[in-house]
Structure 1
């Protein structure tokens, strides 16, 4: 049965419906991807990084709108209160918003240069493929993990022009020097991109059960993965900088562990839909301290502390607007 046609809504309720559709409380988990990518290169964020953040936000919101458009029939059964099945937003409006946001994201990425546009194009393709085809397949968690990793790569790609300008001219021929620079940049970005991918895979695996509940193994697996990730990140911080210098990355690691562990444990012990959804929401918010830890570990302590400032904002808004 198609969703009912949306009737006239007060302006405030229309805004609220779009806020719910776009899951605005989850937006705070996005800027840290690009900033962690810039930090991995050892370069201060610049104009290109800002374009990457804008592109990431647009593509993330495109994915939210497209997700609800693709799941509108399923949500009519499991979540009839959502904006599309409840008739507060027309399906065509949601699909149109997804298209416009995707175009805006690609336009912003293009302002940061061809490498950033290439990364953003791949990210946009993955977002649409996930929502329209891969979400309900076994490849779903891997696709989401790859999207988060690509978002960090987008930030690094948008910041690389600044790195090239600062690098003295090498004695080797220019093409060889460029390949060497690209290889070094790739190695620096691989570890933090892999960390975001592992976390995202674990949380996405749990999210596949948030409507029905009933899974103990998924939250237990996510708890093991996120605990191992936190331990490895903390160990790396201690090895890189001893004493009080290690506190900068250790603080966000502690916050990361605290944000993920308790909700996942509750969901494993009592796998009901509400507790599973709470674990997924905690996993989304936990991206912020993880991004902060990755930035601080790369030496961008100021960026890490700034990202931590987003955590209470995300937590407060999540009480009013669900991130899932």
Structure 2
């Protein structure tokens, strides 16, 4: 197995879409940003260690990709013969070994980077990835399990002690992931207008929730002495503005393609809308991080977005990345 074969197996460019999950969760949960000092449980890990959590997500994601190809090797021989396993470039044993190794690495990085609070969520996350690929993918529960993977990834960033604070961020990515996963099921044979319309409605709902959350952050908040803090202060205005801009980029990135899939729900339309939904993950993560007040994370995710656009501009081989931590 060559390096190129390995990168194809784990869908390397698609890994960019998962890096911001834990960062958005950490911002929402108070582990990053201005709320860190008052966050209480879960803010006990130094920020530099939290940088390992996106690497944990990347390992679990890539491991899920490899496991997907292992599980789908017979079907891919008929529908996607160019993939690493059916083409003979990677053996089933190699794919399973890569999946196992990356899963273990992801769990280890979660423990080191986020402590026991993040590890407590990494375990069910890894279990969900394997459950999706080996059991749930071809069943009606598939999109639910996939969406749960993404939600758990966000919560892993917050840590077990701050789950409640990060639930809105996790819910936003969960809803988006569920919609994109449903659409991805039509990449070969097409989807239906009701399904595409429901996914588009979900995108609008997610954008509205982020917008409302950003506007609420501008409300005056009482200090310890009970004196309201003016809503127009820069500390609130700048993150709120970043959240609104990122939410706009999120909608512009995926909603037009989803609406097109409503008008023409064939395989090409479903595939294009699925790709757009994946690419919209990073702007959504940035919007959620900004809502949590962490402009540093927003800057990092802006760099991830630029890197993703640069990779796509190079015209790499068409890949259908999956919205969760494995692939359909």
Question: Residue 254 of structure 1: which of 245, 248, 259 is its match?
Answer: 248
Distance 1:128 1:73 in 2: 18
Q: Is this contact kept in 2: 1:42–1:300, CA < 8 A? A: no
Paired residues in the alignment total 287
| Structure 2 partner of 1:313 | 307
Q: For structure 1, which segment, 273-282 or 253-262, has the greater mean C-alpha deviation from structure 2 after superposition?
A: 273-282
Give 1:154 deviation, angstroms. 1.1
Q: Does 1:105 align with 2:93?
A: no
Give 1:259 deviation, angstroms. 0.7
Give 1:235 deviation, angstroms. 2.3
Task: Map residues 190-229 of structure 1 onto 2, 5 A cutoff.
Answer: 190-229=167-206
SS in 2 for 1:211: coil
Q: Is this contact kept in 2: 1:284–1:323, CA < 8 A? A: no
| Structure 2 partner of 1:71 | 72
Distance 1:69 1:224 in 2: 34
| Structure 1 partner of 2:263 | 269
> Which structure shows the bigger proportion of residues in helix conformation?
1
Q: Does 1:29 align with 2:6?
A: no
Q: Which TM-score applies when normalising by structure 2? A: 0.82
Q: Deviations over 1:208-256 (max 9, x none)?
A: 1112214322222111101111122112212322775432111110110
Q: Is this contact kept in 1: 2:31–2:158, CA < 8 A? A: no
Q: Does 1:135 align with 2:137?
A: yes
Give 1:115 deviation, angstroms. 2.1
Cα distance change, pair 214–116 in 1 and its aligned pair in 2 (3 A):
closer
Q: Which TM-score applies when normalising by structure 1? A: 0.83
Q: For structure 1, which segment, 250-259 or 310-319, has the greater mean C-alpha deviation from structure 2 after superposition?
A: 310-319
Give 1:205 deviation, angstroms. 0.7
Q: For structure 1, which segment, 63-72 or 311-320, has the greater mean C-alpha deviation from structure 2 after superposition?
A: 311-320
Q: Is this contact kept in 2: 1:55–1:105, CA < 8 A? A: yes
Give 1:306 deviation, angstroms. 2.2
Q: Is this contact kept in 2: 1:252–1:308, CA < 8 A? A: no
Distance 2:302 2:140 in 1: 33
| Structure 1 partner of 2:52 | 51
User: Considering only aligned residues, what root-mean-square deviation do their CA atoms show, in Å?
Assistant: 1.9
Q: Deviations over 1:269-324 (max 9, x none)?
A: 22232331221111111110111000101111221132122113223324414243
Distance 2:301 2:74 in 1: 37
Q: For structure 1, which segment, 314-323 or 73-82, has the greater mean C-alpha deviation from structure 2 after superposition?
A: 314-323
Q: Is this contact kept in 2: 1:223–1:264, CA < 8 A? A: yes
Q: Does 1:80 align with 2:81?
A: yes
| Structure 2 partner of 1:178 | none
Give 1:127 deviation, angstroms. 0.3
Distance 1:86 1:271 in 2: 30
Which ranges of 4 or more aligned residues in structure 1 deviate by more than 4 Å? Answer: none
| Structure 1 partner of 2:227 | none
Question: Residue 283 of structure 1: which of 277, 292, 298 is its match?
Answer: 277
Distance 1:20 1:266 in 2: 29
SS in 1 for 2:51: helix
Gaps of at least 5 residues in structure 1 are 1-8, 161-181
Distance 1:139 1:56 in 2: 22
Give 1:68 deviation, angstroms. 1.0
Give 1:18 deviation, angstroms. 2.4
Question: Residue 3 of structure 2: which of 1, 6, 15 is its match?
Answer: 15
